[in-house]
Structure 1
Amino acid sequence: MPDYLRLFALFGIVVVNVQYIAFSALHGFADPVAETALDAITLWLVNGLSLLKTYGLFSFMFGVGLGFLMRSAARRGLPFGRVYRNRMIGLLILGIAHGCLFFPGDILTIYAVTGSILYLFRDWPVRRLVRVGAALLVVQALIAPPLLLAVPETPPDIVAVERAILTNGGFFEAVLFRSIGFAFIVPTFLVIQGISALGWFCLGLAAVKSGMIDEAGHPLWRRARRWCLLPGVLLGLAGAAIWQWGAPAPGVVLTVVSAPVATLGYLGLIAAFSRPPGPIMSKALAAGGSSLSIYLGQSIILSTIFAGYGFGLWGAVDRLTAVATALVVTAGLVSALLLWRRYFQLGPFEWVLRRITYARLGI
């Protein structure tokens, strides 16, 4: 099930991220940005089906990863505190580099900060983890909409600078612009996304401790699929439709509030498909195990495709084309990692993170 989750989340995340890589990221969250009917339909589907939902899946898997890391450290007799500290430092380094060089909307930095808080919860029983995780998701649903809607309008001259740099500027100009944007974005994201991420971390760790993550047929997965999937998807699509074609504020609220419900439904749906794979799917799942390399590779390749120092397609294509490009890039990365894993045990960025994680531990 973890392998299916990672692969599903990677394709869901990229269709959201490409909206901020291929187009301006300086508009207000609720501002209408679709220029054509096709753009509006594309944004409706992206916001209704993926926005905040697949980040939830990715965050859930982070909590699962902590549980697996605890198991591994105990089995090998390693000092878990030092291993976990090093891992968070490694994520922070990679996240800052990612945010400054390629994509200011980086999530790894937030994971490093909120993941450090999760360490304090590592010995909690399952029931407490579930209660705290659910409470954090509720808190995020309450505070995120007003914060997102309160984002002030960006001055036109800054928008013009963004366009000039990302359409005609060189790599170092783009890095400087992204670094400034990253510095402004991180504090807000730590509140808006960090609370939600920590909630999903708790639920992911609880899934490992309870054994649910190893049992795709667990009754709770069936209940999530039965009670959350259809309502979550319908509410998400309804919220995105109101956001796109009606009053943006209530649409944003409904989209944000329904996201955890849809994510739980997706978890249940993925569990239903988590059966022993055939030869082709087993290879794809193995490549999906290098999710860090795929996530960072998505931003590196897509930012090069759309920025002026690359193919110069920033703002020059419609949003459906951008989504299709993102999906093709992700499929290509999965294929590339298949070849890579024939010769190397870990993906390139997994190798870097592992070297930092087990530094001075003789591993």
Structure 2
Amino acid sequence: MANMLHFQFGSSGVEIIESVSVLNKVSYYFVKIFVEGSFYPIFGFVFGYVLIKMIESREASGLKYKNIVFRRAVGLSVLGAMHLALVWEGDILLTYGSTLFILLLFYLKRRVKTYFVWSFILTAILGVGVLFGSSFIEIIKPLTAAEIMIYQDGTYAEILTQRLGELLVVNGLSLLFILPIGWLLLVGVSFLMVGPFVLFGMGMAKRGAFLQLENSNLTYKKVAMLVPVGLLLKGFIIFDTPYSLIIYSTGTYVLAIGYIALFAWLFSRYQTKMNYYFAPIGKLSLTNYLMQSIMCTTIFYGYGFGLFGKLGVFVGILLSVIIYVMQLKASQLYLKRFSLGPVETILRWFVYLKNPRKAG
């Protein structure tokens, strides 16, 4: 759902709100307030948390971990670059792969306090950047009418050319001649984007958070009260004021923390049921993520059904729910026969340099 607006409208999605029906306007702000911007921090948190647990597991077994982290960074970066170039420009895998390089160089063996301090520092840097941003609309370059037509009616080759042009040419300057500098810039920007919550997750993992949920129920329930606070802050996106963007951006983080605590509280109460429904799709998260891109670009781009820009926001929400429910069921059926998803298997082969089923 967080990505559906981009699938449906590309970067022009920020402009559609001016000319849509009341239902679609309400749907647009529902996605903006309840979903968009508040889930990539959660994924970053989980990414950092799992990284620390993997390192602790390897150390407990007397095994080295740095080569594994390095190969995982390379593997995610390659998958992300392929996804970005060949399927959809909204990739996040390259961001996480790039972030891993920074973590490997500077952050893997740090004290808990260091993780929290740097999480705060990066958040402050982002806040300053947003504060000096002129407006939400001006941050994103809308698609031109000609570009929209390419996504609606173009062949795969035409859309590929359009996408690569957007990625490799900025203000008339070809990035092909400065790829090393461009990659270093990407690493830095990626770390700035997801680093705060990745480091926060690493710090929480070091502190042993979520290992005994039943003993922290009251704490999670109290922190979950940040959900309405975050929603209220994000609601400022409706108003056109000089401070709407910074308040909205603050709300995305507040809501993310609230969602994490709310999920932890719900999971402690309904662990069996939630494991049954959500563990399978989680085990296949990489495959499911890429499949969402393939399915949605097929639905909206010209080489598929060509519905780019033609369906309302409300229909996009319904489509998100349908796709997700389908993947929930498909993941359950798949794991009855296989222990790993196809993309997860390929990545683990590369990371561990052996049969993934024996890699641990």
TM > 0.5? yes
Partner residue, 1:25:
11
Q: Based on CA coordinates, which of the two structures has the bigger radius of gyration? A: 2
Question: How far off is 1:147 after superposition?
Answer: 4.3
Q: State whether residues 298 and 326 of structure 1, in contact with CA within 8 Å, keep that contact through their aligned partners in structure 2.
A: no
Residues of 1 paired with 2:280 and 2:60: CA distance? Answer: 23
Q: Please tell me the root mean square deviation across aligned C-alpha atoms, in Å.
A: 2.7
Q: State whether residues 87 and 357 of structure 1, in contact with CA within 8 Å, keep that contact through their aligned partners in structure 2.
A: yes
User: How many residues are matched?
Assistant: 339
Partner residue, 1:135:
121
Partner residue, 2:353:
359
Residues of 2 paired with 1:215 and 1:33: CA distance? Answer: 48
Unpaired segments of 5 or more residues in structure 2?
Answer: 171-181
Give the TM-score normalised by the residue count of structure 2. 0.85
Question: How far off is 1:26 after superposition?
Answer: 4.3
Residues 1:215 and 2:212 aligned together: yes
Residues of 2 paired with 1:223 and 1:327: CA distance? Answer: 29
* One-letter amino acid of the structure 2 residue matched with residue 18 of structure 1: M
Residues of 2 paired with 1:253 and 1:36: CA distance? Answer: 27
Partner residue, 1:302:
296
Residues of 2 paired with 1:281 and 1:108: CA distance? Answer: 25
Question: How far off is 1:152 after superposition?
Answer: 7.0
Residues 1:336 and 2:330 aligned together: yes
User: Of the candidates 225, 231, 234, which is equivalent to residue 233 of structure 1?
Assistant: 231
Q: Give the share of equivalent positions with the same residue, in percent.
A: 22
* One-letter amino acid of the structure 1 residue matched with residue 150 of structure 2: I
Partner residue, 2:164:
179
User: Of the candidates 87, 101, 107, which is equivalent to residue 102 of structure 1?
Assistant: 87
Q: State whether residues 39 and 318 of structure 1, in contact with CA within 8 Å, keep that contact through their aligned partners in structure 2.
A: yes
Larger deviation: 137-146 or 124-133?
A: 137-146
Superposed, 1:44-59 pairs within 5 Å as 44-59=29-44
Partner residue, 1:347:
341
Residues of 1 paired with 2:275 and 2:116: CA distance? Answer: 32
SS in 1 for 2:2: helix
Partner residue, 1:5:
none
Q: State whether residues 44 and 198 of structure 2, in contact with CA within 8 Å, keep that contact through their aligned partners in structure 1.
A: yes
User: Of the candidates 123, 139, 150, which is equivalent to residue 151 of structure 1?
Assistant: 139
> Looking at both structures, which has the greater relative contact order when contacts are Cα pairs under 8 Å and sequence separation is at least 6?
1
Question: How far off is 1:170 after superposition?
Answer: 1.2
Partner residue, 1:224:
223
Larger deviation: 324-333 or 216-225?
A: 216-225
Partner residue, 2:173:
none
Task: For residues 30-87 of structure 1, give each alpha carbon's deviation from its aligned partner in whole angstroms, at most 9, with x where no partner exists.
Answer: 8855522222211211111112111110111110121122133224443211000000
Residues of 2 paired with 1:249 and 1:47: CA distance? Answer: 18
Give the TM-score normalised by the residue count of structure 1. 0.84
User: Of the candidates 254, 264, 270, which is equivalent to residue 261 of structure 1?
Assistant: 254
Q: State whether residues 96 and 109 of structure 1, in contact with CA within 8 Å, keep that contact through their aligned partners in structure 2.
A: yes
Unpaired segments of 5 or more residues in structure 1?
Answer: 1-14
